[in-house]
Structure 1
Amino acid sequence: MTPRTAHPLRLVAIVALVAILGAVGVTAAGAAPVRSTTAAVATSSRADRPAAPRAMWVWDTSDPESVVALATTRGIGQLYAAVPPNVGTSPQLAQLRRLVELADEAGLRVDALGGDPGWVDNPTWVVNSWLKPALATGLFTGVHVDIEPYTTAAWTTNRKAVVKRYLSTLDTLRTAAGTAPIEADIPFWYDEIAANGSTLDRETIRRTTAVTVMAYRNLADGVDGSIALSANEIQAGADLGRQVRIGQETTFLGTDPTEVKQTFFGQGLTQMESQLSRITAAYAGSPSFAGLAVHDAAGYAAVTD
């Protein structure tokens, strides 16, 4: 693969979620009435909660308190929380309810996160087993999908067919989502893939409310930095009237130099923030720039000074 190839997003986090200062606390006296009132107000306004300048993927929802504490400490206003199929009957539902409860109290937006390369072969199953059950919980402000069709064997042998199925899947999900906003993760090199007489980044952007570009580099500047790698998608978003986030990686990807440069793993928080601020400054004037997204909660918690 060329240096422009991004590592697949769905990685098993090998770094445990560490304790974060500033965890959400409540007083013992009168706690239940206050939490109940707060939750009721938050629930009524949840659907109107706007996208936040910083988002974070949360693949492991088993420790909602630590996730929300991390988010509030680091200025994260939006969570992409992993939702399993048929969540209504899943043991994970209790975790998600608790996560959203705490997020509501902190004023955070929570979107349902899901995706698998196999989704392109059975979008009807995705709608009936994942999308509709997730939205039926009433917990989520929007939908965030991470499909990654390029990780399939067919991408190499019959890419044109995979691209067609991928875009058809997005069309199906967008229709089924109704008024719920739908976002998608894309690698920055989608601008190099032909699709429908255009490019795959633009065709994905057309079908979604917003995209997050996995421009995974631990340097913002330069020809191989996050700013340059995401420039075409930022422009496409502006042309098409859609929002575009820039994704940044914090998990361990490997020891190869190509893998090392894609993540802030092993670097300090101050160094990471310095690079993120450069990205924000570079795109501050773009109407399509929606902010940053950090992958993921476990890796980000381990980035400290």
Structure 2
Amino acid sequence: MPAGLWRTVGALVLAVPLVGAVPGAARADDPPSVTIDSSESGPGVVRLAGRFAGAYDVSLVVNGERIERTRVSDPDADDAGTWAYDLDVGEMDGEIEVYTKATVAQTRYGTWSPPLTLRVDNPSARKPEVEITEPADGVRLTRPTPVRVRVAGKDVRSVRVRVNGGPWQRASGAAGRYVTLVNPAKHGDVMASLEAEAVDARGHVTRSTTRYVALGAAKKRRPVPHRQDRAMWIWEKASYNLVLNPGSRRLLETVLPPGSTMYLGVDTYMGRDIIEDARPELRDLVAWAHGRGMKVHATVAGGTRPPYLGALSRYRDRAVGEMERVIDYNLSSKPAERFDGINVDIEPYILPWFTSSKPDLQIQWLDTLRAMIARRDASGEPLLFGPAVPRWLDTSACCTDIPYGGTTRTLAEHVQDLSDYIAIMDYRDQADGSAGIIAQAAGELAYAERIGKPLSVVVGVETLDIATSGDPATITFREEGRDAMEAELAKVGQAFSGSPAFAGIALHHYDSYRELPTVWGPAARWPEPPADSGPPTGVASPPEAVAFDHATVDLTYGRAYDDTEVDFYEVHRSTEPGFTPGPGTLAGKARGLSHTDTGLLPGTTYRYRIVPVDVAGHRGPASDPVTVTTGATDLRPMVVESMSVTLEGGAARVRLRVVDKESGQPVAATVRGRFTFSAGRYVTVTADADGWATATSEALKLPTGEVGFAGHRLTAPGHYWAAAYDRDKAATTRW
């Protein structure tokens, strides 16, 4: 990076590496890339700017803590242009690492810029640093023992310590040295977590890393492998319902039988942390699952946004912190309320430089996994440790011949050496063949048998609609349906039934599996939801709306509750004051507590209301309205005026027309999208001079089914896609 340049900005002193003025826009024939070309500081803000080529959806990754959309300029609609973002550094201090990332237009995979480091000197945002210095990790305490805490920071107002998540007790001291007394007799013979917390005069709160000690005659316990068939990933939009809305568990019972394993997402979600601020409710869920003979593994990632940055050495402490969150929860809870394992979903191979940096990044990931396991071992908690890994970690060029721990092996083998189990993301829609589920898991099972690790390989399959990603439709059972999936999984179970290393089959994931019918089309069937006695409540807090630009509004709102499950939230939009939600105002459906409404008109005032809907179809009361006005643009809106999907020659055919919304004149737009339901082919076509575009799906082999078409990107010079005003969005063909 270029040399730093000191700038004084109000109360801030920034050392900001600069590259001078923003260069001209990238050209369409440049290789796919995104760059940070300049940084310019102002009062409490750093303006970052750069270029992109062969890409779209440019976003900024800020210190591994959040991902922000940037404002892009691409008037020629050729996936090349400039971007800018005003980064508010008013609450930042120290080294801030930023990247830009974008989606490559041709592959729909990612491309990243090199990192840029901002050095921010901002005393008002500086948080205290807190560390437990005594007792040491792993010691045994048999009598009252001082816990010593070192704090670095100004205006520290309180320092506290807690044992096993219990009440905070004040530590006394000054000048950065504090102490309190822990009496093992008050806690019994248990393994214990020691945490310290410091608060300064500005309200900044900092927690220490955890120290683990043995109290009295406590002994560490080792994890015991168990069957995981079926296992299922349950991400935060659903897991928080299971924790905070007990009726949701009745719905879970319809798809996950007793004896199954939950991979329960426990990341923070919409400002809440179920591990920290909903412990009683989380304990209740885990105890409920154990009462049904189920196992529960907490699913964590790298403690970063995006999660795969947690594999890097710079962010390793955050991944370790995720491990400690789960351990500390367990030590604070009764045996029946504790997690049985921890499923780790970091996936650093998503980083574009994973292959080119071999073996450095691979070793960083292994070191991160080792550091996480070391915290488990120090705590004595018998948590099974199981990373999710791709099916090619033992064969791809990025992952063979990795030197680590004195041996050179495949990355898969190193991960298996470290871990108690692996969950292979063996994502294909057929069991047999050289690229099938069975063949692609055979190597990992053989290695597990060779090193003597029973019940250590879980075979995972996909049910998610992934067609807009760069992955092929062949990686998911979304198109085939549940009956076809079960037939293939029966083959997998039979093939591996004699292997002592085989632990079972995992499904990704709960919400997409619930949406998966037996087969698409007239014969489609879904599991019957449990009996429901009435509609859900309204949302706990009214919606808030922010206009991002001329065409996009971001909405957030509070949770609703139900005696079973709030299946989704209807988002209703109107330009009329005091409107009543109805079929004509439905703008979208959201599974979680946020929704992004796109394809709007510039300079337009919209009103939004939120209506919760439960799994029985009961609609709760509509929220109060919220009003927001979109921004301005020089681009003209274009829309899909008509669309039809027909079945021709064993494939589906989509025919649609793109026009200028204001004039009705045809637009020769580039249409990108994918077929849906029984098909999953992604296509790119260009409309003719009359605005008409046609495309054909892959061959349809099932005797019954349904196919629709969903646009993904529509681009044309001087225009943008006002998708909210498209017609015939729900057009399908069934047979």
Question: Is 1:124 aligned with 2:331?
Answer: no
> 1:119 and 1:219, CA in 2 relative to 1: closer, same or farther beyond 3 A?
same
Q: For 2:475, what is the secondary structure of its paired residue?
A: coil
Residue from 229, 232, 241 that aligns with 1:63: 241
Q: Distance in 1 between matches of 2:358 and 2:493?
A: 34
Code of the aligned partner of 1:105: G
| Deviation by residue 1:90-121 (Cα, 9 ceiling, x = unmatched) | 55656634432431232211111011211122
| Deviation by residue 1:124-167 (Cα, 9 ceiling, x = unmatched) | 3322x311121221231111101111011331431311001011
Question: Is 1:187 aligned with 2:390?
Answer: yes
CA RMSD of aligned residues (A): 2.6
Q: Distance in 1 between matches of 2:437 and 2:449?
A: 18
Residue from 199, 202, 205 that aligns with 2:410: 199
Code of the aligned partner of 2:261: Q
Code of the aligned partner of 1:70: L
Q: For 2:394, what is the secondary structure of its paired residue?
A: helix
Does the CA-based 8 Å contact 1:71-1:77 persist in structure 2? no
Shift of 1:219: 0.7
Question: Which residue does the alignment assign to 2:215?
Answer: none
| Deviation by residue 1:187-243 (Cα, 9 ceiling, x = unmatched) | 111112121211011000000000011110111111121011111111111112221
User: Number of matched residues?
Assistant: 260
Structure-to-structure mapping, 1:127-276, within 5 angstroms: 127=320, 129-138=321-330, 139-178=338-377, 179-192=382-395, 193-194=399-400, 195-196=402-403, 197-242=408-453, 243-254=456-467, 259-276=472-489
Does the CA-based 8 Å contact 2:297-2:341 persist in structure 1? yes
**Structure with the larger RCO, 1 or 2 (CA within 8 Å, 6+ apart):** 1
Shift of 1:49: 8.9
Shift of 1:53: 2.1
> 1:58 and 1:68, CA in 2 relative to 1: closer, same or farther beyond 3 A?
farther
Q: Distance in 1 between matches of 2:375 and 2:512?
A: 33
Q: Distance in 2 between matches of 1:267 and 1:228?
A: 20
Shift of 1:249: 0.4
Shift of 1:257: 9.9
Does the CA-based 8 Å contact 2:461-2:508 persist in structure 1? yes
Code of the aligned partner of 2:241: D
TM-score, with length taken from structure 1: 0.77
Question: Is 1:297 aligned with 2:487?
Answer: no
Q: Distance in 2 between matches of 1:258 and 1:132?
A: 34
Structure 2: gaps (5+ residues): 1-108, 111-222, 302-306, 331-337, 519-735
Code of the aligned partner of 2:349: Y
Q: For 2:458, what is the secondary structure of its paired residue?
A: strand
Shift of 1:291: 0.8
Structure 1: gaps (5+ residues): 1-6, 9-46
Question: Which residue does the alignment assign to 2:229?
Answer: 53
Question: Which residue does the alignment assign to 2:294?
Answer: 108
Q: Distance in 2 between matches of 1:288 and 1:168?
A: 25
Q: Distance in 1 between matches of 2:275 and 2:507?
A: 29
Q: Per residue, is there more strand in 1 or in 2?
A: 2
Q: Distance in 1 between matches of 2:495 and 2:225?
A: 26
Residue from 489, 493, 496 that aligns with 1:283: 496
> 1:110 and 1:259, CA in 2 relative to 1: closer, same or farther beyond 3 A?
same
Does the CA-based 8 Å contact 1:230-1:246 persist in structure 2? yes
